[in-house]
């Protein structure tokens, strides 16, 4: 019963985490190795990739040298620092692309956008990460899971020799089968 529970628990954990792993969202490091900086060809960078809902942008730069404002189309086009909006300033700003559509980002440091093209426009599309939402999702087990394996450790232990012994028996049986078949072929020939 103990090992049976354990298997169920493992299966439940896999059921919860496997789909999440399959639909891994992409982190787009803006500007690649150059990061978020001046005089970089962000339109070309953006053209090389597809941005899916659920992906994220990472703006990487030396803190204090730049910042990131989420802008609208006009602010982007004319390099207007959005009023009443706080910029991202950490130097490692991760922005999750939660909705489809056009997104605009600019640096708010004077002249960086207007004279040095430190601005990024992307189009986010749906569908990259299919959300299959399988039926068995509702059983959220993580907490009760932790107790049984701890107490069951001695019980699970004897299991492994048994199953490996079974494995050996099984492989011996396979060897015998192969040998029998080979013998049959030789005899027929
Ligand atoms: Cu800047």
The Å distance, Cα 55 to ligand 1 centre, comes to: 23
10-residue mean pLDDT profile of the chain (189 residues): values are 48 44 81 98 97 98 98 98 96 98 98 98 84 51 49 42 42 48 47
The Å distance, Cα 137 to ligand 1 centre, comes to: 44
Which residue(s) pair with 60 in the sheet? 92
Among the residues of the chain, which ranges form H helices? 2-22, 42-47, 73-78, 142-156, 159-188
Q: Nearest 5 degrees, angle CA 78-CA 84-CA 86?
A: 90
The Å distance, Cα 51 to ligand 1 centre, comes to: 23
Q: Rounded to 5 degrees, what are φ and ψ at 117?
A: 55, 35
pTM above 0.75, yes or no: no
Beta strands across the sheet bearing 51-52: 51-52, 119-125, 101-106, 69-71
- Report how far residue 184's alpha carbon sits from residue 186's, in angstroms, rounded to the nearest whole number: 5
Domain 24-125 fold: Immunoglobulin-like (2.60.40)
The Å distance, Cα 64 to ligand 1 centre, comes to: 9
The Å distance, Cα 63 to ligand 1 centre, comes to: 10
Structural domain spans, the chain:
24-125, 159-189
Report the pLDDT value the prediction gives residue 95, as an integer from 0 to 100: 98
């Amino acid at each position: 019963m103990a090992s049976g529970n354990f298997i169920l628990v493992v299966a439940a954990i896999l059921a919860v985490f496997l789909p999440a792993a399959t639909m891994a969202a992409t982190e787009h490091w803006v500007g690649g190795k150059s990061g978020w900086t001046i005089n970089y060809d962000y339109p070309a960078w953006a053209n090389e990739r597809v941005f899916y809902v659920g992906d994220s942008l990472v703006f990487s730069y030396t803190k204090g040298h730049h910042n990131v404002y989420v802008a609208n189309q006009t602010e982007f086009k004319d390099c207007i620092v959005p009023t009443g909006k706080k910029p991202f300033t950490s130097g490692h700003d991760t922005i999750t692309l939660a909705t489809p559509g056009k997104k605009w980002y600019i640096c708010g440091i004077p002249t960086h956008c207007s004279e040095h093209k430190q601005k990024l426009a992307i189009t986010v599309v749906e569908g990259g990460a299919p959300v299959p939402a399988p039926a068995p999702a509702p059983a959220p087990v993580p907490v009760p899971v932790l107790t049984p394996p701890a107490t069951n450790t001695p019980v699970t232990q004897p299991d492994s020799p048994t199953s490996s012994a079974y494995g050996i028996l099984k492989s011996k049986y396979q060897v015998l089968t192969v040998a029998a078949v080979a013998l049959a072929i030789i005899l027929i020939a």
